[in-house]
Amino acid sequence: MSSADAATAEAIEPATVEAVGQLLDAAGIRRVICVDDWYATAVEVEPIIGGLVAGALPASEVLDVWRESQEALPATDDIEVITEELREAWDSFDEAIKQRMHLLLEADHTAEDGSTEPQDAPALDELRDIIPVQYLTLRLSDWRRESSSLLKDGIPTLLLLDRNFDRESLGPDAGERELVRLYREAPETWRFGLLTHTVADADGEVELWRDLKSRYGEEATRLIVIAKNRLIGRPSEFPSILKVALLNATLKRLSAEIRSAVHSTWESAFQQLEKLDPYALQRALSGRRASEGTWAPDTLLRVAVALCEDKIRVALHNSERVHQDGGLLMRINEISLPVEAEIGVSPGDDIIRVQRLEYLDESSLEARPTLPLEAGDIFKVLRDSDQDPTDAKLAEFVVVVGQPCDLMVRSDGRRNADRLVAVAPIQLEGFSRKRPREGHVGYGDEHWFSIPYLDVERTKIGKVRLNRVFHLPAHVLDLSVVSGDGTATWVKGRPAPTALVPSWQERWKHLDAWVHDLLTEHRPLLEAVSDPLARTSLLKALLGIAHIDLISVNLDFSKYELRFGLSRVARLRDPYRGALVLRAAQREMRQAFDSWLIDSV
């Protein structure tokens, strides 16, 4: 091995080899096969002998590789003896040993034609040093000849194929086509990786995988793209991508099991829903609509979910495959890796949308008129042009902090707390070691908690300040429910959305009358004030929000339109953070309850 290669090999830490061994063992992999056109390069003994005689190739390095072949070593360090015995033993060496000796001749593994040699040779050399189980190397032509017997011998295998096989005149995409061919032919105990020098980082691996999936469809999903850069100078990163390759099939099976369980139980739930007594069901729906202002289809959906949710868990619990795959996930995730290498740094909009769904309900707000105001509703603060967008004192969102009983609209369109609703400000802050990307509930601080993924740019977390709760008129927030687009807007003559439940239709009448009467009564006064800032201050005072700098308000008498700087954008879905909101609501309302109790006694 050359001095440059030796330095690279010395960079392979024992922890890396140990982690790879533990991962392969946990996944039950007993063999690794590497198929690369580098092994198609003809290797002759004479260039190696020439290097020894000329002194360009240290004899000690040749003997180190020779020793791995378990063939008898020369009894002397005399160059003539070594070269003669090397020539005699050459045919008894396997191709891997011949390739290792050939690599010793390469000072930097560069090629004049710009081929893949600069990465292929050292990358494959690193693989041999990292893999602690049976390791086979083949050309693609050899693999195709022997694959039938290898696939049937029952040995769980990790198959690593190079993407480019130009040296065998098979084309730059022969590797990916071969892996796609194996989609249905290979046993479930096999795992697949596509080695390539055409991508250099984690994002490149993900993008190439997506490209392969778009071109080959489902048949490309069993492979994982592995950049050869992870093996050259950065071998400690290999366990991280190996973990993905080993778990890929497991995650696909779990997804299929969940899909099957959901499909079968939903069908059962629908059948039970259809068997419900129509008289009892109608009474339940009417009662919900009258007492809670709930949209009837939402109630039916809750009934269906209640009927099937437990059955889904039972179906998954009774599946032996789910238990096996779940145990494998746990074992592999418990293995300590030498470094946590970046895997898909920019996962894309699809996965971000899924992660946001764990914390925030956004899509259902498309049906805003059917979703009355609730604790945990998040409003985006719409800044005026004269407000400094970088002012850290101004929150970018607010979340409703109120008792459910106080937010419930009665059949007459009124609620218990009909004047003020408590809201907490949310400020976006950058990530730090103390506040990682995923966020933690509370961070040990009773005055605030985080909401990850609230920032669409994914560079900040939302910080809910429970110690800075303030109150807004209920009418302001209610306008966002009845406006149809989520904005807190009133327009003269605009009818109520037809999807509003009866209690909120009555609520709309109160809101419409409140704004209309207020503007009609005070229009002369507002129009008499010429200064825009003074007129805005007067309007905020009339609306009961003069003390709140955060919320802007705009009035256009030409359109007879009143618009507040708020728009309902999401609802807090995460149960732990929702519990904190309700706990804060109890704290806010405690004094009122205490007074009621004292008066009662």
Confidence class for position 118, pLDDT limits 50, 70, 90: very low
Confidence class for position 596, pLDDT limits 50, 70, 90: very low
Quick one: which of 25, 327, 32, 320 has its CA closest to 191?
32
Report the CATH superfamily, name and number, of domain 3-41+116-252: Response regulator (3.40.50.2300)
Question: What pLDDT, on a 0 to 100 scale, did the predictor assign at position 117?
Answer: 46
| pLDDT per position as a tens digit, 488-511 | 899 888 887 777 777 888 888 988
Please give the average per-residue pLDDT across 302-331, as a whole number. 83
The boundaries of every CATH 3.40.50.2300 domain in the chain are: 3-41+116-252
pLDDT at 17 over 50: yes
Write down the pTM of the prediction.
0.61
Quick one: which of 241, 186, 229 has its CA closest to 20?
241
| pLDDT per position as a tens digit, 546-563 | 888 888 899 888 888 899
pLDDT at 52 over 90: no
φ, ψ of residue 346 in degrees (nearest 5): -110, 90
Contacts of 63 (CB under 8 A, 6+ apart): 73, 74, 82
Contacts of 198 (CB under 8 A, 6+ apart): 163, 164, 204, 208
Cα dihedral value 499, 505, 510, 514, nearest 10: 20
CA distances from 189 to 145, 153, 157, 186, 247 (A): 21, 11, 7, 8, 11
